[in-house]
């Protein structure tokens, strides 16, 4: 009996000690949670009872050089539902279907889903959102948002780009300058009870959004409009596949206009022609990518005779040719085993280098290339900046496709000298020509001028790299004179503008494969010839009928210059008062 009592007391003692230890452990854990981890669990509790809604920031506007708004915002609404706050789900489903034009099954699925917030529809017109708000439906939230809007619809579409459903830039300047344009979203914080129902009398915390910066670009709406009009006219007249035009200041690289006809409607960037929409999703996306493509910077082409500007500058700079050097053109040159024709079958006969340039004579430029040789020619490619990219502030710039130096024989040297057997982007050709005629400074083509906060307190002026000494002042002056003569009396004479001296070069290049007999006609022009303030390049892709650049491309640039030179307040130089620029 005694041993039994002793054993029983031991069990009670062990149990008492165990309970005591357990209570001490619980007290210790509670103390740890209340004292050491109190801040952490307090934050968790706050998060449990807080509802957070985003206040969208207004995206920054894009304005042209004169302050005209070319990309802005329209107020739209986002309609959403909060499950725990809804009282009459059937009425909510009925009203949202009616006001938003949605299918009942789609709305019901979202309304009956147990989640903290379900978005019913975004980009709802403000008038529709206001009407839904007036119903006073518990659990239905109508928050104001912004949708990108382009007042000029298709103007410079492939330059500006557009935004997606989340208002983020997708292509063009919209994505290039996303960090400046996007702004910073704000938030609304409200308190909810344990069931998730917002407390009516609880204070609401609000962090205001910060609007995106206003981006000022060098593009001029009036010049862009006129250039687009000219592009569409020649495209229709010649039945061309596409027409591109770039107009730039050759002294600083500011781009006044960049046309890629046909353009597309920026307010409906995913809309394809009805006959195009029958394919698969992948085929549709390919069509959209083609429609959005900026051929001035994304595509390369064989430049043809406009590249003779580079060959001439290299020859003059190296001292292997002068304007008065004599050449003979029988209508072809034989290089190794190749007979390379001149565009004039009977040949130009005896001519100076200046006359060869005015006649756009292939044999003359083949000879200049041979005089330079592969090593020297390649040296000038690098010196002129042709083998890299221009650094233009748009995404997806393509690089020049050129023969490797070790693979460049005499035939390749000959064909490159008059602009064939390699490929270049229009913007690279225009930029390189600018550096040759502006005194020898390699500039960076660009659009962005400055970014300014909405309240005007912060302004960033954009700067771009330049490289001097691309060619000597003497070479640049000689090139301006030579190209001025090409327009005054040579193959580019259809680009003449009364009262102004214009310089330039024509080109007609045959596309690959040659058997297709498809051409790109182009003209590069600048004015005034003696001191260029504006330079332009037009490329006409696959014109029907007459396809010579001097016949169909040069007049377009002439017409554009006739309109924009007075507009840019560039002083004229009447022919009878023009000074001979010949050095």
**pLDDT, tens digit, 9 for 90 and up, residues 437-485:** 999 999 999 999 999 998 888 899 999 999 999 999 999 999 999 999 9
**Is the bond preceding residue 513 a cis peptide, omega within 30 degrees?**
yes
What is the pLDDT, as a whole number, of residue 43?
Answer: 56
Same-domain pairing of 253 and 158: no
What's the angle, vertex CA 131, arms to CA 130 and CA 136, rounded to 5?
A: 90
What is the per-residue pLDDT across 114-124, written as a single tens digit (0 to 9) for each?
A: 888 899 998 89
pLDDT, position 115: 85
In which band, very low, low, confident or very high, does the pLDDT at 191 lie, cut at 50, 70 and 90? low
Q: Are residues 427 and 537 in the same domain?
A: yes
| Mean pLDDT value of segment 321-329 | 97
Binning pLDDT at 50, 70 and 90, where does residue 206 land? confident
Rounded to 10 deg, the angle between the 554-567 and 221-238 helix axes is 160
Instruction: Please check whether residues 150 and 237 belong to one and the same domain.
Output: no
Residues 83 and 232 in one domain: no
DSSP symbols for 403-439: --GGG--HHHHHHHHTT-SSBB-HHHHHHHHHHHHTT
pTM summary value:
0.86
* Cα 124 to Cα 76: distance, rounded to the nearest angstrom: 5
237 and 210 share one domain: no
- Alpha-carbon distance values, 311 to 174, 299, 390, 410 (Å): 37, 22, 19, 15
Query: What is the domain count for the chain?
Result: 2
Which comes out higher in pLDDT, residue 101 or 145? 101
> pLDDT by residue (tens digit) across 64-86?
999 999 999 998 999 999 998 89
Domain limits for position 500 = 223-263+299-577
What's the pLDDT score for residue 578? Answer: 44
Rounded to the nearest integer, the mean pLDDT of the chain is 90
Tell me, yes or no, if 501 is annotated catalytic. Answer: no
Which CATH number is 487's domain given? Answer: 3.40.710.10
Query: Of 218, 244, 305, 501, which residue is the catalytic one?
Result: 305
Is 179 inside a domain boundary?
A: yes
For residues 333 and 412, state if they share a domain: yes
- The residue with greater pLDDT, 156 or 34, is 156
Q: Do residues 452 and 498 share a domain?
A: yes
Q: 268 lies in a domain?
A: no
> Would residue 280 count as lying in a domain?
no
pLDDT at 6: 65
**Overall average pLDDT of the 507-516 stretch:** 90
Q: Is the domain of 255 the same as that of 169?
A: no
Residues 468 and 504 placed together within one structural domain of the fold: yes
256 and 329 share one domain: yes
Which domain CATH number covers 156?
Answer: 3.90.1310.10
| 427/520 Cα distance (integer angstroms) | 16
Residue 109 has pLDDT above 90, yes or no: yes
Residue 504 domain flag = yes
Question: Is there a single domain that holds both residue 245 and residue 97?
Answer: no
Same domain, 197 and 248: no
CA distance 9 to 271: 89
């Amino acid at each position: 009996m005694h041993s039994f009592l002793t054993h029983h007391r031991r069990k009670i003692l062990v149990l008492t000690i165990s309970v005591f230890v357990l209570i001490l452990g619980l007290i210790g854990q509670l103390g740890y949670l209340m004292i050491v981890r109190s801040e952490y669990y307090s934050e968790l509790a706050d998060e449990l009872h807080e509802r957070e809604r985003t206040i969208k920031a207004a995206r920054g506007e894009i304005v042209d050089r004169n302050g005209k708004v070319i990309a802005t915002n329209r107020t739209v609404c986002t309609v959403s539902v909060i499950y725990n706050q809804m009282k009459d789900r059937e009425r909510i489903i009925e009203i949202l279907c009616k006001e938003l034009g949605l299918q009942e099954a789609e709305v019901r699925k979202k309304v009956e889903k147990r989640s903290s917030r379900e978005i019913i529809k975004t980009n709802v017109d403000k008038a529709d959102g206001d009407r839904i708000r007036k119903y006073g439906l518990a659990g239905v939230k109508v928050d104001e948002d912004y949708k990108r809007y382009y007042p000029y619809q298709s103007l410079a579409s492939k330059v500006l780009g557009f935004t997606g459903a989340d208002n983020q830039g997708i292509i063009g300047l919209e994505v290039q300058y996303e960090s400046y344009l996007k702004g910073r979203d704000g938030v609304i914080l409200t308190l909810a009870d344990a069931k998730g129902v917002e407390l009516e009398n609880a204070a609401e915390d609000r962090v205001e959004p910060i609007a995106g910066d206003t981006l000022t670009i060098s593009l001029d709406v009036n010049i862009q409009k006129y250039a687009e009009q000219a592009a569409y006219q020649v495209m229709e007249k010649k039945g061309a596949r596409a027409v591109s035009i770039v107009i730039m200041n050759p002294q600083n690289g500011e781009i006044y206009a960049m046309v890629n006809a046909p353009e597309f409607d920026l307010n409906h960037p995913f809309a394809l022609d009805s006959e195009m929409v029958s394919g698969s999703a992948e085929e549709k996306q390919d069509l959209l990518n083609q429609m959005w493509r900026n051929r001035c910077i994304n595509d390369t082409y064989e430049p043809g005779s406009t590249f003779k500007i580079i060959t001439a500058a290299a020859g003059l700079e190296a001292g292997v040719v002068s304007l008065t050097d004599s050449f003979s053109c029988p209508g072809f040159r034989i290089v190794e085993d190749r007979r390379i024709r001149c565009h004039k079958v009977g040949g130009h006969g005896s001519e100076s280098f200046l006359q060869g340039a005015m006649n756009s004579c292939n044999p003359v430029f083949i000879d200049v290339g041979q005089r330079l040789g592969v090593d020297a020619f390649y040296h000038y490619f690098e010196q002129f900046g042709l083998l890299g990219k221009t650094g233009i502030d748009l995404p997806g710039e393509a690089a020049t496709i050129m023969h490797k130096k070790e693979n460049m024989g005499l035939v390749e040297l000959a064909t490159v000298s008059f602009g064939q057997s390699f490929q270049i982007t229009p913007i690279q050709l225009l930029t390189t020509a600018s550096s040759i005629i502006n005194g020898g400074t390699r500039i960076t083509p660009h659009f962005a001028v400055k970014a300014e906060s909405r309240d005007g307190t912060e302004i960033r002026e954009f700067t771009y790299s330049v490289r001097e000494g691309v060619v000597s002042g003497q070479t640049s002056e000689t090139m301006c004179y030579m190209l001025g003569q090409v327009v005054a009396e040579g193959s580019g004479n259809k680009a003449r503008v009364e009262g102004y001296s214009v310089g330039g070069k024509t080109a007609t290049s045959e596309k690959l494969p040659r058997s297709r007999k498809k051409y790109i006609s182009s003209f590069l022009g600048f004015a005034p010839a003696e001191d260029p303030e504006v330079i332009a390049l037009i490329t006409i892709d696959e014109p029907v009928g007459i396809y010579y650049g001097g016949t169909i491309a040069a007049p377009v640039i002439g017409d554009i210059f006739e309109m924009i030179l007075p507009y840019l307040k560039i002083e004229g130089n009447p022919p009878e008062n023009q000074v001979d620029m010949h050095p």
